[in-house]
């Protein structure tokens, strides 16, 4: 099937950006098509992809070569992506993102490895069409004990798809899955945990927190299952206060402490983080290292102003709780929040808290979550290491 673009609308494809919006299309099939040839208005070949008129991003390009989108294509694409991560998967790191959607030139597909368990997310109608081929190839190439579906993201509804989750191959999951990260152990709830079970994109950030934590009193906000808490305590923190609103996440946090033979030093608080920060300020609590890694505040550009206020509020309160020379490790995981705006928000928060700060380091998403040069949207996670002065 053929899709033609309007005159002058081929720039994205020429620049190897994988998205083409519906407004750029001149001629297309009547309905969904899993394999289309994309041409400019003049008839120049631009790429091969899939077409979904139900989505605002009507075209997603899988290949800029003139080739069939068949089993051989997916075998080659998966092989390249898997091979890029071979050096990451070691006895001291047994979890990794194997395919990062557009960043690995496979729009709509996420593949994560947690030890012997592979987790798949099919996020678009086009990649959903190739589900069986992809599952078969994952089983053939990786030989996992379990393949699990976590295609339960709301974004599927924009594609005209229902959310799905459950066993695709192998052994059922009846308990948390044990992984090793940076040499320590973590339990992951794959069926119902956040994202595909855990925040793999913060692996390198947690290693940096381990380095920073020695001899410090640490506050871990939005602690989830305690990845940062475990890292800080193993790094020599004097005490960690872990604040999380989810009872289920805190139960796994306790299991993670036990798995690493940590018997003291952590205080878990089941509270809303905003509530805790305000109460801690009233009580005169002080910390040497504060970690603010909130969930995504920005889902769309229309949320940006509201999210900016939320980021400023929690960072302002955190600056009040920091000792002089203390370190604030603060993050945003939204692609709609650019680096400069985030830095301005942290500047404003410090100003309102009556202090100043020095940026002494920056955090990025881990290397298995690469940033594709031709797809700047793949840069979403940003973090600042700010010293209070």
Residue 13, SS3 per DSSP: helix
**Strand 217-221 and strand 287-292: pairing?**
parallel
CA 117 to chain centre: 18
| Contact in structure between 244 and 253 (CB atoms under 8 Å) | yes
Residues in Cβ contact with 30 at an 8 Å cutoff, skipping those fewer than 6 apart: none
| Contact in structure between 375 and 64 (CB atoms under 8 Å) | no
Beta bridge partners of 188: 177
Q: Token digits for 109? A: 């597909």
Starting at the edge strand that comes first in sequence, how are the strands of the sheet with 217-221 ordered?
266-270, 239-244, 217-221, 287-292, 322-332, 382-388, 357-364
| Contact in structure between 290 and 218 (CB atoms under 8 Å) | yes
CA-CA-CA-CA torsion for 152, 24, 78, 139, nearest 10 degrees?
40
> What's the CA gap between 64 and 73, in Å, rounded?
12
Number of helices (H), then strands (E), in the chain: 10, 20
Closest C-alpha among 243, 225, 238 to residue 184: 225
Tell me whether residue 96 is one of the annotated catalytic residues: no
Sign (positive or negative) of CA dihedral 169, 174, 180, 181: positive
Neighbour count for residue 90 (Cβ, 10 Å):
11
Closest C-alpha among 108, 212, 205 to residue 155: 108
> What's the CA gap between 261 and 306, in Å, rounded?
41
Catalytic residue among 33, 96, 221, 333: 333
CA 4 to chain centre: 34
> What's the CA gap between 152 and 164, in Å, rounded?
5
Q: Which residues are catalytic?
A: 333
């Amino acid at each position: 099937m053929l899709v033609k673009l309007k005159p002058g609308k081929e720039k994205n494809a020429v620049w190897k950006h994988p998205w083409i919006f519906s407004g750029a299309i001149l001629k297309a099939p009547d309905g969904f098509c899993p394999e289309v040839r994309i041409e400019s208005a003049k008839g120049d070949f631009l790429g091969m992809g899939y077409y979904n008129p139900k989505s605002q991003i009507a075209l997603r390009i899988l290949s800029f070569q003139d080739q069939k989108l068949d089993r051989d294509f997916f075998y080659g694409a998966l092989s390249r992506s898997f091979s890029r991560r071979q050096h990451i998967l070691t006895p001291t790191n047994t979890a990794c993102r194997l395919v990062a959607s557009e960043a690995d030139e496979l729009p709509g597909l996420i593949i994560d490895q947690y030890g012997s368990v592979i987790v798949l997310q099919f996020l678009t109608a086009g990649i959903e069409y190739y589900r069986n081929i992809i599952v078969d190839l994952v089983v053939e190439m990786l030989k996992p004990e379990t393949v699990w579906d976590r295609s339960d993201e709301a974004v599927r509804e924009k594609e005209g798809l229902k959310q799905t989750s459950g066993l695709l191959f192998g052994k059922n999951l009846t308990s948390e899955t044990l992984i090793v990260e940076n040499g320590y152990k973590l339990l992951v709830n794959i069926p119902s945990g956040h994202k595909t079970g855990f925040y793999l994109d913060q692996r390198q950030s947690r290693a940096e927190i381990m380095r920073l934590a020695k001899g410090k009193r640490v506050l871990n906000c939005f602690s989830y299952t305690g990845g940062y808490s475990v890292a800080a305590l193993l790094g020599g923190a004097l005490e960690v206060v872990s604040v999380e609103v989810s009872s289920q996440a805190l139960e796994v946090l306790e299991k993670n402490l036990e798995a690493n033979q940590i018997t003291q030093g952590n205080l878990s608080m089941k509270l809303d983080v905003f509530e805790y920060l305000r109460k801690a300020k009233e009580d005169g609590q002080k910390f040497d290292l504060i970690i603010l890694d909130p969930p995504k505040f920005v889902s769309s550009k229309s949320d940006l102003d509201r999210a900016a206020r939320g980021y400023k509020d929690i960072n302002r309160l955190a600056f009040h709780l920091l000792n002089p020379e203390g370190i604030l490790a603060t993050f945003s995981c939204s692609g709609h929040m650019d680096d400069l705006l985030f830095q301005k928000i942290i500047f404003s928060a410090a100003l309102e808290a009556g202090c100043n700060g020095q940026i002494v380091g920056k955090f990025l998403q881990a290397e298995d979550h690469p940033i594709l040069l031709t797809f700047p949207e793949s840069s979403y996670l940003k973090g600042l290491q700010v010293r209070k002065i």
